[in-house]
Structure 1
Amino acid sequence: MSITDTTSGPSLKDILANSSIKTKTNTSADGLASATNSATGKQSLGKDAFLQLLVTQLKNQNPLEPQDNGEFVAQLAQFSSLEGITTLNTSVSKIAASNSSSQALQASSLVGRSVIAPGSKAVVDTSKSFSGEVVLPASVAGVTVKITDAEGKLVRTIDLGAQATGNSSFIWDGKDSAGKALASGTYTFAASTTIDSKAVSLITNLPATVNSVTISQTGGELMLNLAGLGSIALSKVKTIGM
């Protein structure tokens, strides 16, 4: 005697569709959302967050539609690229820090030495001859350098005559227009010329003594602190003397 079971029940596909798949899908969505929210926020997606997302996706994939090899390999390649970029950024940061330290060491050797840089003021020892430069953008028929003291009084005018394009040197003996020796101190130098019938102010390169060096904490340029004149960027220095 054969017994036939006429009871109809749900198939495996129906069971998975009604329970497991929904649970996995929801879990996958919740896991990915949680991982994404915890990983991103206001920060960029890092390698740890990327790996967390990848593992969460693999753990909660649909058993009927597993992750295909092509997409899996692509994600691994993205992870490898991300790891490489992170390592490169770390290496570049170390090189930049090393270069900054090297520049600071080199700049420290300038302390106590004389440099020539663009400026209008200089601390002058009038017992010695003082020399500077005037920067000429074009050939001119005449150049004058007016020297004033700390009180703004004009003490000397030096006529350089016609000059060609480039840097033109001038020397001041530390005396006023009457030939009287002046006291040492801070003096202002203003060079000018006439181009196309118009008065034009010119840049002067003047000597100064380096007192100290300031190192930027944010990766900025090294600054040289000049005696009695303030600070100037190292890149602006034209000549380094003894």
Structure 2
Amino acid sequence: MASVNDTTSGVNLNDVIKASSKKAEDTSSIASATNSKTGANKNALGKDAFLQLLVTQMQNQNPLDPQDNSEFVAQLAQFSSLEGITTLNESVNTIAGSFKSSQALQASSLVGRSVIAVNDKAVVDTTKSFTGKVVVPQSLSNCTVTITDKDGKTIKTIQMGEQKAGNADFIWDGTNDAGEKVDPGTYTFKATTTVEGKALEMYTMLPATVSSVTISQTGGEMMLNLAGLGSIALSKVQTIGI
């Protein structure tokens, strides 16, 4: 088969086509080398490799069949999107780092502090008066708080009388129903009432001391480890004291 020559330049067009094919192979080699050098995933291209491929493609396009302008525009749009996603990821990582630093600072300030949270147990120093709260859902004619020890034995029954809706305080002086001081330890508090002849149990909010804090590594909620009582989410804390 006779070769086709460009008589104005003296360049064999078949050679040009072969050279274009060779450069296209070189383009693939460049992409492989870039991924190998950067340690990138074989199935993903970084923005630098993508831009290098685009420039190489422009430089080595087939002169007999040049790349369509619309295809270049589409590739440039893809590159712009890739750049935007990369910038967004960097911003999100920065925000996440700041959030963790803020959590760590907040955690260090909570250790050793007293908090009040919804709970039914508390570690009580019976040599001092103990104050808790009952969450009253509506106006009640009577409210009772029953205190039991770790063995489930009833130690004290506190009659709070008539209460309005809201948080009602109660005080335990550390004595049993016989007026005798009991030993310090962990006690359970149960608040009950009667509404329309039916028994109703209510939430109690009790004080506790934060012994340590657990910070989530996945962006979850910070957990407070309460001395002798286990863990509780920070969102469940109603009051933070000294």
TMscore range, shorter length: 0.7 to 0.9
Task: Give the Cα separation in 1 of the matches to 2:125 and 2:79.
Answer: 66
The residue number in structure 2 matching 1:229 is 229
When structure 1 is superposed on structure 2, of 125-134 and 91-100 the one drifting more is 91-100
Cα distance change of structure 1 residues 57 and 137 upon mapping to structure 2, 3 Å threshold: farther
Give the partner amino acid of 2:74.
A
Matches within 5 A, 1:9-48: 9=2, 11=4, 20=17, 24=21, 31=28, 46-48=46-48
Give percent identity, aligned residues only.
63
Task: Give the Cα separation in 1 of the matches to 2:167 and 2:231.
Answer: 23
Task: Give the Cα separation in 2 of the matches to 1:196 and 1:54.
Answer: 78
The residue number in structure 2 matching 1:158 is 158
Structure 2: 5+ residue stretches without partners: 7-11
Aligned to 1:64, the other structure's residue is in SS state coil
The residue number in structure 2 matching 1:138 is 138
When structure 1 is superposed on structure 2, of 183-192 and 48-57 the one drifting more is 48-57
Q: TM-score, normalised by structure 2?
A: 0.78
Give the partner amino acid of 1:189.
F
CA drift of 1:75 comes to 1.8
**Is 1:220 paired with 2:220?**
yes
Aligned to 2:65, the other structure's residue is in SS state coil
Alpha-carbon contact 1:104-1:222 (below 8 Å) kept:
no
How many residues are matched? Answer: 229
Task: Give the Cα separation in 1 of the matches to 2:64 and 2:227.
Answer: 79
Give the partner amino acid of 1:158.
I
Task: Give the Cα separation in 2 of the matches to 1:65 and 1:175.
Answer: 96
- Quote the RMSD (CA, aligned, Å): 3.2
**Is 1:176 paired with 2:176?**
yes
Deviations 1:87-109 (A, max 9, x none): 22112212221221122112211
Give the partner amino acid of 2:17.
S
Task: Give the Cα separation in 1 of the matches to 2:204 and 2:198.
Answer: 19
Alpha-carbon contact 2:208-2:226 (below 8 Å) kept:
yes
The residue number in structure 2 matching 1:240 is 240
The residue number in structure 2 matching 1:77 is 77
**Is 1:127 paired with 2:124?**
no
Alpha-carbon contact 1:24-1:61 (below 8 Å) kept:
no
Alpha-carbon contact 2:103-2:215 (below 8 Å) kept:
no
Cα distance change of structure 1 residues 193 and 50 upon mapping to structure 2, 3 Å threshold: farther
Task: Give the Cα separation in 2 of the matches to 1:12 and 1:195.
Answer: 103
Aligned to 1:162, the other structure's residue is in SS state coil
Aligned to 2:209, the other structure's residue is in SS state strand
CA drift of 1:16 comes to 6.6
Cα distance change of structure 1 residues 54 and 132 upon mapping to structure 2, 3 Å threshold: same
Deviations 1:180-222 (A, max 9, x none): 1111111001112234443232211100111122222333222
Cα distance change of structure 1 residues 111 and 10 upon mapping to structure 2, 3 Å threshold: closer
CA drift of 1:74 comes to 3.2
Task: Give the Cα separation in 1 of the matches to 2:72 and 2:90.
Answer: 27
Task: Give the Cα separation in 2 of the matches to 1:216 and 1:156.
Answer: 39
Q: TM-score, normalised by structure 1?
A: 0.78
